[in-house]
Amino acid sequence: MAHSTATLRLAVGDLRIVHPVTVPSGPVEAADIVPALQGLVNAVVAAAEAGRTVSCRKGCGACCRQLVPVSPSEGERLLCVVAALPRERREALQARFAAAETAIEGAGLDQRQGRSDRDLSVAYFALRLPCPFLEDESCSIHQERPLICREYLVSSPPQLCAGPTQEGVTPLPVPKVSLAARGLQDEADDWFPLALLMAWRRTRPRRTTRRTGPEWMQRFLRQLGRK
């Protein structure tokens, strides 16, 4: 399929970003433009990081026990990533997802039950549940990790990230471009916890809307403008 490239000039928070994006020219599903969004978020994070000291290192997966909200478009992309893994790795991953699902349901955290985002996040972190994609305290899908994982970097000492209350943890002020991906397929705020990816797959409405890559990108930028 042919591709179209455009140079985006964006003001995101205090940052000025000039970034070329390439998307399929023809009709595709929203998940197909996720790689372009990954590139854009990488550019925003790089600009936010410039001149700052980041404590995050490979092999420190303390933050990978937090609730990771992902959009349906990213969910579809991640399901393709999982489907492309060799069978042994896929089965091991499926087992970790099943264990996470049992723990989350057991704690009653698969439903909001009137909790605020903050309360839900605190209760989730208290479970100390490793992300199913975490292997040897490193992300096994680093190139494909969700947008919000890319945006989370800290400048405080790494040991604070494992503390029960996260007290003293200082995240870098990275604009949350990932939020705009949540409204890509419709205008509602739409997300689910990454650890429930397989549960979401069983129940999700299969969206088959196809738009051209530039049309999806325009929708994303409109959402970004509203955040």
| Contacts to ligand SF4 by CB under 6 A | 64, 68, 131, 133-134, 139, 141, 145-146, 149
Closest alpha carbon to 146 in 98, 122, 179: 179
Cβ 195 to ligand SF4 shortest distance, Å: 8
Q: Residue 147 and residue 178: Cα distance in Å, rounded?
A: 5
Closest alpha carbon to 133 in 50, 74, 179: 74
Token pair, residue 141, equals 């899908």
Report the Cα 37 to chain-centroid distance in Å.
Answer: 11
**Rg of the Cα atoms in the chain:** 18
| Burial class of residue 11 in the structure, from the number of CB atoms within 10 Å of its CB (0-12 exposed, 13-18 middle, 19+ buried) | exposed
Nearer to ligand SF4, 18 or 54 (CB): 54
Cβ 97 to ligand SF4 shortest distance, Å: 11
Question: Beta strands of the chain (E only): which ranges?
Answer: 3-12, 15-24, 27-28, 69-70, 134-135, 138-139, 192-193, 211-212
Cβ 54 to ligand SF4 shortest distance, Å: 14
Nearer to ligand SF4, 96 or 219 (CB): 96
Nearer to ligand SF4, 58 or 222 (CB): 58
Residue 202 · residue 187 · CB < 8 Å: no
Cβ 105 to ligand SF4 shortest distance, Å: 19
Nearer to ligand SF4, 68 or 104 (CB): 68
Nearer to ligand SF4, 29 or 144 (CB): 144
Cβ 180 to ligand SF4 shortest distance, Å: 18
